[in-house]
Structure 1
Amino acid sequence: MANANSIPKPRYLSLDVLRGATVAFMIIVNTPGSWSYVYAPLKHAPWHGFTVTDLVFPTFLFVVGNAMSFGMGKLKEQGNSAFLKKVFSRTLKIFLIGLFLNMFPFVKWVDDVLVMKDFTEIRIWGVLQRIAVCYCIASLLVYYFRSKTILLISAAMLLGYWGVMSWFGDYTLEGNAATKLDNFLMNAKNLYKGYGIPFDPEGVLSTIPAVVNVILGYFAGLFIQKKGNNKSTAFNLIGTGVILLLAASAWNLVFPINKPIWTSSYVLYTVGWDLILLAALILIIEVWHIKKWTYFFEVFGKNPLFIYALSGIFVKLMHTIYIGGENIHKLIFDGFFMNLLNPLNASLGFAISYMLFLWLIGLYMDKKKIYVKV
């Protein structure tokens, strides 16, 4: 999967904290004790609309771009062939890890018998696959084009995506162009089924606007490097964030904010909030020097992809391994949390406890100076 090496010199603490907080919250929203008992803010909006949970994935993409701004200079110094080798290698590794997580644990229970999964029916896309593709496209754009050209391409991506979505379909689950393209390109059995029909929220067409989340994260990083971690930088980021929120709200009137099809208004809305969050962290950590609380999130931020992958592996094993006729997940959730708390709090308590369990693994890795790089 990857090699364990010494972590590179930190870029800036605010980025590490934002990345770590994103991973921690991602684990909480992905692993409730029961999907039947989830507080509303910890659910995705069913279709159009926005909840705080809808900010998690785009923030991860934003952070990828932000971190890219600190490493791109070094990559450019290594030359074209070394750059391409690095980018394509990292893209392939992340994509394959995502595919591995979709297939894991390779077996399933059918009529009380453990049988091998049909690998021809495995979902191809997913969270890590989208991260891989967005990282690859954004890296190539950043490497080969000037800043003004990249921003023009980004605008064309958002406007072009709006045009395609409005011209070739509507904004419903069944009628949108992203659904139509995925079903044309791929077998329905290889697409996500969580919406009741073959529809992949990380499919081909909706990946195009998601690239812009990475690119704008990259430019935010460049701005911070140029202006410094100071009050003026933070207020500029907040101002830009507010402008993007207002623009997204206006665009929402004709192209609704929607995570599953990753609308262009959703891109501007999430980047707007990410800029405000990052600015707040810069003020608290870099300007006011309130740092004692940050280490908890740094632990997640130092091994983000590894801990995220581990979170998926462990929870699937808990659902697969049975003891005394019950799987481990049910034994823990029903036998412990449901006996102590009401259903909603039991489900949240399980999610938080699971996140803390993974934090302890991350803490051990940090103390042992083990950092997994992809």
Structure 2
Amino acid sequence: MGEPMRFDAEIGAGMAPAAARPGAATGARAPRVVAIDLLRGLAVMGMVMVAYAGGWDDRFTFLTHASWRGFAIADMIFPAFLFCAGAALPYALRRREGQGRAALAGHVLRRSAILVALGVFLNLLPGFDVAHVRLPGILQRIGLCYAIAGTGCALALRRDGLRVGGLVAAIAVLLAGYGALLLAWDAPGCGRACFDSAHALPAVVDRAVFGVAHLWPWGRTGDVVTYDPEGLVSTLGALVNMLLGVAASVLLMRSHRRATLTAIAIAGAACLLGGLLLDPLMPVVKKLWTPSFALLSGGFTLLALLALMRLVPPGRAAPAWTRPVLAFGTNATLAFVGITLIDTVMQLPLGGAGSAHDRLAALLARAIPEPRVASAAYSALLLLVLGAGLWQLYKRRIVVRI
């Protein structure tokens, strides 16, 4: 098999390195946090189960997003992926810190641009309809968040690493600033502090910047497209989740002692509670990524990471049962591209008999009496097909990096 390729942790597309140089507080090398890789893998697997259903009208409740206000388990998937992308940043920057801040920032911006371009390219499939292509998207949001957070971290990087206090301050500024924008916005026909799908500030800005033809076609108010869940203004909220990942990783690179884990647990509980308490003033709305949603989902992710760290403590080898999940986590960006391509092929029309998606979904519906199980079985089959390819890469320690 030869010398294995080193796993990379950048932008969620690879494992955290086996060791990282410590901050000033430690003299030992920090062991790899497998729990971050597991969290990323679970997020990718959850995304496939939620976003690629056999029948959209026949889904389990836990596999559906909140329609607007409120939250569901499915709403925690994308925030977890952003968190993991942020958690990879300190490792990536530390490996290149000798290049200088300008070179680091350039490296971050190049990777971000590739992510955005890749996201737009995938949205063009299969017909390359430029006049109606969706310009925002999941990879575009990750790329934009990575550009802002990564550039900021590169410029703030010191010899002893990033400062948690500075990260916390940045998170606080984002929450307060974005919240103030949402509350101060005086929407025509709706008034101040409007959080509906047509008049909220993020929806209005996205229509003005992108045009309705280039928004998510299912982001509708009634029968009219009015918003995009991965739009520009709401990226301010998504940045909070990425910076929480950066902060957690900085702490864990320095120490895995009980005090550090307790601090992360307290932060997770505080975020979770803060999001719930903010809801009456600033509702929890994932599609606007409101500050309350950013806090709630960030707290959920922090606590989920700690739970996974209890299962697989830092420095220990990954148990056999974790390896299928790690196969998704170590090539997360490739997994996203792969499932998009698979779904694109499945949705292509096959003469007058519908698409491959329709045929397979109908076959499963006939074989499985419970419609929700049949719909989930379709998603699970796609997961198995995708996982089979990722498993081959994982066994060979191959990571496809952008």
Show the counterpart of 1:190.
214
Matched to 1:220, the amino acid is: A
1:133 pairs with one of 133, 144, 147: 144
Q: How far 1:105 moved relative to its partner? A: 1.4
Q: How far 1:337 moved relative to its partner? A: 4.4
Q: How far 1:298 moved relative to its partner? A: 0.6
State whether residues 101 and 155 of structure 2, in contact with CA within 8 Å, keep that contact through their aligned partners in structure 1: no
TM-score normalised by L of structure 1: 0.91
Show the counterpart of 2:236.
208
1:329 pairs with one of 350, 357, 374: 357
Percent of counterpart pairs with the same letter? 26
Q: How far 1:323 moved relative to its partner? A: 5.9
Show the counterpart of 1:13.
34
Please give the residue correspondences for 1:114-129 in structure 2 after superposition, counting only pairs within 5 Å: 117-129=128-140
1:19 match: secondary structure? helix
1:315 pairs with one of 325, 340, 343: 343
> Are the structure 2 counterparts of residues 288 and 82 from structure 1 closer, same or farther at C-alpha, using a change threshold of 3 Å?
closer
Show the counterpart of 2:84.
63
Please give the residue correspondences for 1:96-245 in structure 2 after superposition, counting only pairs within 5 Å: 96-106=117-127, 117-145=128-156, 147=163, 148-168=165-185, 169=187, 170-196=194-220, 197-228=225-256, 230-245=257-272
State whether residues 32 and 351 of structure 1, in contact with CA within 8 Å, keep that contact through their aligned partners in structure 2: yes
> What is the CA–CA distance in structure 2 between the aligned matches of 1:287 and 1:93, rounded to whole Å?
32
2:400 match: secondary structure? strand
Q: How far 1:347 moved relative to its partner? A: 0.1
Q: Which runs of 5+ in 1 are unaligned?
A: 107-116
State whether residues 337 and 350 of structure 1, in contact with CA within 8 Å, keep that contact through their aligned partners in structure 2: no
> What is the CA–CA distance in structure 1 between the aligned matches of 2:277 and 2:375, rounded to whole Å?
36
1:84 match: secondary structure? helix
> What is the CA–CA distance in structure 2 between the aligned matches of 1:291 and 1:104, rounded to whole Å?
39
After superposition, the C-alpha distances for 1:307-358 in whole angstroms (9 at most, x for unaligned) are 1111011111111041672311111111234323321110011111211211
> What is the CA–CA distance in structure 2 between the aligned matches of 1:235 and 1:123, rounded to whole Å?
42
Show the counterpart of 1:109.
none
TM-score normalised by L of structure 2: 0.85
Count of residues in correspondence between the two structures = 360
Q: How far 1:186 moved relative to its partner? A: 2.2
Q: How far 1:36 moved relative to its partner? A: 1.1
Does 64-73 or 284-293 show the bigger shift? 284-293
1:294 match: secondary structure? helix
After superposition, the C-alpha distances for 1:103-152 in whole angstroms (9 at most, x for unaligned) are 1112xxxxxxxxxx531211100000000000110011112236334432
> Are the structure 2 counterparts of residues 180 and 21 from structure 1 closer, same or farther at C-alpha, using a change threshold of 3 Å?
same
Matched to 1:7, the amino acid is: F
Matched to 1:262, the amino acid is: W
Q: Is 1:274 the counterpart of 2:291 in the alignment?
A: no
Q: How far 1:287 moved relative to its partner? A: 6.9
State whether residues 189 and 198 of structure 1, in contact with CA within 8 Å, keep that contact through their aligned partners in structure 2: no
> What is the CA–CA distance in structure 2 between the aligned matches of 1:350 and 1:94, rounded to whole Å?
28
Show the counterpart of 2:11.
none
Q: Is 1:371 the counterpart of 2:395 in the alignment?
A: no
Matched to 1:253, the amino acid is: P
Matched to 2:151, the amino acid is: L
Matched to 2:108, the amino acid is: V
Q: Is 1:48 the counterpart of 2:69 in the alignment?
A: yes
2:346 match: secondary structure? helix
> Are the structure 2 counterparts of residues 19 and 362 from structure 1 closer, same or farther at C-alpha, using a change threshold of 3 Å?
same
Matched to 2:272, the amino acid is: L
2:59 match: secondary structure? coil
2:65 match: secondary structure? coil
Q: How far 1:187 moved relative to its partner? A: 1.6
Show the counterpart of 2:43.
22
State whether residues 26 and 56 of structure 1, in contact with CA within 8 Å, keep that contact through their aligned partners in structure 2: yes
State whether residues 234 and 282 of structure 1, in contact with CA within 8 Å, keep that contact through their aligned partners in structure 2: no
Does 230-239 or 27-36 show the bigger shift? 230-239
Does 129-138 or 281-290 show the bigger shift? 281-290
> What is the CA–CA distance in structure 2 between the aligned matches of 1:82 and 1:23, rounded to whole Å?
31
1:39 pairs with one of 50, 56, 60: 60
Matched to 1:158, the amino acid is: L
State whether residues 234 and 283 of structure 1, in contact with CA within 8 Å, keep that contact through their aligned partners in structure 2: no
Please give the residue correspondences for 1:240-319 in structure 2 after superposition, counting only pairs within 5 Å: 240-286=267-313, 291-319=319-347
Which portions of structure 1, spanning 4 or more consecutive aligned residues, are displaced by more than 6 angstroms?
287-290
Show the counterpart of 2:106.
85
